[in-house]
Amino acid sequence: MKAKDTATARTLPIVAQGKITTATVSVRNFYDATHEALQMAIIAGHDGMGNIIREKSLNRPALALTGYFKHFAHNHLQVFGAGEMAYLGDLDTARQISIMEQIMARKIPGIVIARGLDLPEPLSSVAARFKVPVLRSRLDSNNLIPEATIRLEQLFAPRTNLHATLVDVRGIGVLIQGASGVGKSECALALIERGHSLVADDYVQIELLGDHGLRGTPKDLSRGYLECRGIGIINVGSIYGALSVLPRKDINLVVTFVFWREGMEEERTGIEQHTVEILGQHLPNVILPVRPGRDMARLVEVAAMTHSLRQKGMDPAREFNERILRHLNPATPLTTDAPRTQQNTPTY
């Protein structure tokens, strides 16, 4: 085994992927996804639940309540907290109606009232006339706004789908990709038998959650099912128990299965670290040639554990490489550089 001082460029395999999309989010979508967590109910403007929310943050109307609409963020959901409702309460009914008509005429998607406060009856009629839904949350505005913003970011998250299998290996989300028939599902089955968990088989829905990275989920229809060639479709939870299936998992590592062929170049030291780009996020990618006799599940398991060590600052490949260099030249200083990472990576 030779020590390496430079990395060699390699062409990485392509992931079979779908289109990158961003969801269109209606007030109904927002309500259905959040009404339990935000303790919300619909109190007016039911006919406007199909209104489209065009921004993933919320707005407090503030100066708009005084009739000043310059820079008014009308594309956002509007939050009425204790201050806004108290101000409206101090106005006479005619002024309340006039202000709310001016706000709703700007085609706001909807209103969320915090603290479980009541909406004056005349304003319910205005909301119905302009088809602007009014939701009421029991949370105060300080808790409502950050929680609702997180939920909106999830709903607006860019997403794609990949022909791959996603498993949880000791807390590491491992996306196994490769050509059809290369053995992704069989590997996942072997990992499940060793106590790990299946998230999605064959088709993985992936969304970008801001600073939280990538999260993978299965199709609702196929959740908990796995295709085993020669046997057919199996229900993983029924055979291995409820803990063998997870509804979602953050993706930390990609493992690419490729068919082995005579003379192909294989990674021997682990110093070179390739990456794959999915939805703008770079993920480490381990390429494993598949051939008879190889325990692919064990290799995926070790790849996940090695990734976990690297996340903690321990890199056995770099450490061993340095040992060889110091053996050949005792004067060689210790390096603190991270392993070289292949940068010309495919984008998905």
What positions carry a catalytic annotation? 163, 184, 202, 268
Q: Residue 186: which of 99, 290, 276, 91 has the closest Cα?
A: 290
Q: Which of the 8 DSSP states describes residue 200?
A: E
Cα separation, 17 vs 7, in Å, equals 28
* Beta pairing class for 172-178 and 164-169: antiparallel
- Write out the two tokens for 15: 């992931």
Q: Which residues partner with 197 through β-bridges?
A: 168
Question: Taken in order 146, 151, 156, 162, is the CA torsion positive or negative?
Answer: positive
**What is the total residue count of the chain?**
348
- Write out the two tokens for 71: 């820079």
The region that residue 44 occupies, defined by phi over 0 for left and psi between -120 and 50 for alpha, beta otherwise, is beta
For the chain, give percent helix, strand, coil, nearest 5: 30, 25, 40
With b for 16 or more beta-carbon neighbours within 10 A and e for fewer, the 108-125 pattern comes to bbbbbbbbebebbeebee
The region that residue 277 occupies, defined by phi over 0 for left and psi between -120 and 50 for alpha, beta otherwise, is beta
Cα separation, 168 vs 181, in Å, equals 21
